[in-house]
């Protein structure tokens, strides 16, 4: 009887296990623990061939909704199978205190890690990398540029994975507002491996991007819509996590100069841009896809779909080509092929600022951040020591919000 399996066979078996079982296996013996917490195993588990995945039938979609109950505001995160019934796969425990700004902005998701930041109205220096599957997270240290240090600003954040050094990075681009003329942006890069921010302002930017610009993450790079105001042109601005460089890429020639009216996205593995056209009954979404990454001539119009007044916002894409749309707080699935509309039984608060809380994104379960110490619920963490949290604020919002000063957690 075999009472010994070589380590490569053990790892082969562990790779095929669901995450919960893998974590239970850490308590079998010390060898198993060390094999599982090893970053190379975490990689192989994440990148296992689909045939080895226990849930190979599912493509998972993350859904975030917000609601109020007796205990107050809540953010609810769940995973759904991208199948006909949109079955709920798992509810994810949200371990953080409520965001200062009503709800967290989800910067992006990569290899099972969500990057959350609390910057919807006022800039609270609170950015978190969170693996909800294994309930681990890392809170980023205070950034270099804050309201106290530099005055009013606008920032954009990008999050992604650097495969070269097996590192997760957050790039923060700050545009200072308290100057009569445009000053060069302040840019910092956080690395999970080093646990620190690093000033990379010397790189400069080939264009400007708006505050809290939406990112589309693909091929190891965060992409935003950028604009060159002098030359009156718009482009994709990208930050490549591996070689730490900014680049720009052409948008489809037919897209008008509407720097902040375009939404970047990733659709079926391709970089895409969504243009909303027209008003009222004439409204439509025009979706462009860059078939070959980085090749401007490969921009192709995927669909141009009339949406009238019934749909509010395009918030996601399904593997069969349906669009995920917010329509008065309900999440619906819309098939552009036959104009079929299907409710998915998911609702989010639509009151005031909550209107934009409904979020969907493709998601993969992973063991990334397994070595991170934090796992207790945030409110259980000893916080006798009052931490000062700085609140940066857009200049034009100072009057409209009472939250322009420092607050206490």
Partner 1 sequence: MASSIENNNEKLTLKSSDGEEFLVEKHVALQSTLLQNMLDSDCSSADVIPLPKIDARTLALVLGYCKKHADASSSKQGELNSFDSEFLKDMDMGALFNLVLAANFMEIKGLLDIAAQKIADTIKDKPHQEVREIFHVENDYTPEEEAAVREENRWAFEGFP
The residue among 42 and 187 lying less far from partner 1, judged by its C-beta, is: 42
**Alpha carbon 287 to chain centroid distance?**
20
Q: Give whichever of 12 and 335 is closer to partner 1, judged by the CB atom.
A: 12
Q: Looking only at residues 145 through 184 of this chain, which bind partner 1 when binding is defined by CB under 8 A?
A: none
Contact in structure between 337 and 321 (CB atoms under 8 Å) = yes
* Pick 375 or 388: Cβ nearer partner 1: 375
> Angle CA(35)–CA(40)–CA(41) in degrees, nearest 5?
45
Residues 384-403 that bind partner 1 (CB under 8 A): none
Which of 51, 280 has the CB closer to partner 1? Answer: 51
Residue 5 or 163 having the CB closest to partner 1:
5
Binds partner 1 by CB under 8 A, chosen from 44, 97, 135, 250 = 135
Minimum separation from the CB atom of position 396 to partner 1 (A): 43
* Three-class DSSP labels, the chain: CCCCCCHHHHHHHHHCCCHHHHHHHCCCCHHHHHHHHCHHHHHHHHCCCHHHCCCCCCCEEEEEEEEEECCEEEEEEEEEECCCCCCEEEEECCCCCCCCCCCCEEEEEECCEEEEECCCCEEECCEEEEECCCCEEEECCCCCCCHHHHCCEEEEEEEEEECCCCEEEEEEEEEECCCCCCCCCEEEEEECCCCEEEECHHHCCCCEECCCCCCEEECCEEEEEEEECCCCEEEEEEEECCCCEEEEEECCCCCCCCCCCEEEEEECCEEEEEEEECCHHHCEEEEEEECCCCCHHHEEEEEEEECCCCCCEEEEECCCCCEEEEECCEEEEEECCCCEEEEEEEECCCCHHHHHCCEEEEECCCCCCCCCCCCCCHHHCCCCCCCEECEEECHHHCCCCCCCCCEEC
Residues 8-47 contacting partner 1, CB under 8 A? 8-9, 12-14, 16-21, 23-30, 32-33
Q: Interface with partner 1 by CB under 8 A: which range of 50-58, 99-107, 166-174, 261-269?
A: 50-58
For residue 124, list its beta bridge partners.
391
Q: For partner 1, which is the closer residue by CB, 227 or 369?
A: 369
Nearer residue to partner 1 within complex by CB, 2 or 85: 2
Among 82, 93, 323, 364, binds partner 1 (CB under 8 A): 93
Q: How far is the CB of 113 from partner 1 (least distance, A)?
A: 17
Kindly tell me which of 40 and 148 has the beta carbon lying closer to partner 1: 40
Q: Per-residue string for binding with partner 1, 264-293, x by CB under 8 A?
A: ------------------------------
From 7-15, 39-47, 298-306, 349-357, give the range in contact with partner 1 by CB under 8 A: 7-15
Query: Minimum Å distance from CB 101 to partner 1?
Result: 28
Span interacting with partner 1, options 5-13, 112-120, 146-154, 247-255, rule CB under 8 A: 5-13
By CB under 8 A, is residue 52 in contact with partner 1? Answer: yes
311 binds partner 1 (CB under 8 A): no
Close Cβ partners of 213 (under 8 Å, ≥ 6 residues apart) = 156, 224, 225
Binding-site size, partner 1 (CB under 8 A): 34
Please give the distance of CA 323 from its chain centroid, rounded to a whole number.
Answer: 18
CB of 15 to partner 1, least distance (A): 8
Stretch that binds partner 1, among 51-59, 73-81, 239-247, 269-277 (CB under 8 A): 51-59
- For residues 309 and 375, which CB has a smaller minimum distance to partner 1 in the complex? 375
Closer by beta carbon to partner 1, 23 or else 81: 23
224 touches 206 (CB < 8 A)? no
Q: How far is the CB of 99 from partner 1 (least distance, A)?
A: 23
Is residue 6 a contact residue for partner 1 (CB under 8 A)?
yes
Q: Smallest distance, Å, CB 31 to partner 1?
A: 8
Cβ(359)–Cβ(265) under 8 Å?
A: no
Binding site for partner 1 (CB under 8 A): 1-6, 8-9, 12-14, 16-21, 23-30, 32-33, 51-52, 54, 93, 134-135, 375
């Amino acid at each position: 009887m075999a009472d010994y399996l070589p380590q490569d066979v053990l790892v082969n078996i562990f790779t095929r296990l669901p995450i919960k079982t893998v974590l239970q296996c850490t308590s079998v013996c010390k060898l198993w623990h060390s094999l599982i917490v090893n970053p190379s195993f975490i990689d192989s588990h994440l990148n296992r061939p689909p045939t080895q995945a226990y849930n190979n039938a599912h493509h998972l979609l993350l859904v975030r909704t917000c609601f109020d109950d007796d205990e107050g505001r809540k953010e609810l995160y769940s995973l759904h199978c991208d199948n006909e019934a949109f079955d709920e796969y798992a509810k994810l425990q949200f371990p953080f205190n409520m965001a200062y700004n009503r709800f967290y902005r989800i910067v992006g998701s990569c290899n099972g890690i969500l990057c959350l930041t609390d910057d919807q109205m006022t800039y609270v220096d609170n950015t978190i990398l969170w693996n909800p599957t294994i309930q681990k997270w890392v809170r980023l240290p205070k950034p270099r540029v804050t309201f106290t240090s530099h005055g009013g600003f606008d920032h954009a954040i990008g999050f992604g994975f650097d495969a070269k050094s097996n590192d997760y990075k957050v790039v923060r681009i700050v545009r200072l507002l308290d100057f009569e003329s445009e000053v060069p942006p302040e840019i910092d890069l956080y690395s999970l491996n080093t646990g620190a921010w690093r000033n990379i302002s010397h790189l400069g930017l080939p264009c400007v991007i708006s505050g809290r610009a939406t990112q589309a993450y693909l091929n190891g790079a965060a992409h935003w819509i950028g604009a060159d105001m002098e030359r009156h042109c718009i482009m994709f601005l990208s930050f490549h996590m591996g070689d730490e460089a900014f680049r720009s890429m052409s948008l489809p020639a037919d897209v008008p100069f509407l720097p902040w009216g375009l939404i970047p996205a990733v659709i079926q593995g391709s970089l895409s841009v969504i243009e909303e056209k027209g008003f009222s009954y004439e409204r439509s979404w025009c979706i462009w896809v860059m078939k070959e990454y980085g090749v401007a001539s490969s921009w192709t119009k995927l669909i141009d779909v009339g949406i009238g007044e019934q749909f509010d916002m395009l918030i996601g894409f399904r593997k069969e080509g349906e669009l995920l749309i917010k329509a008065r707080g309900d999440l619906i699935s819309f098939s552009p092929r036959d104009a079929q509309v299907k409710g998915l039984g998911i609702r989010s608060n639509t009151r005031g600022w909550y209107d934009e809380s409904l979020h969907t994104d493709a998601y993969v379960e992973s063991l990334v951040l397994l070595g991170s110490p934090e796992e207790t619920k945030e409110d259980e963490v000893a916080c006798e020591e009052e931490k000062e949290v700085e609140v940066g604020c857009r200049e034009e919002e100072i009057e409209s919000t009472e939250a322009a000063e420092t607050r206490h957690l």
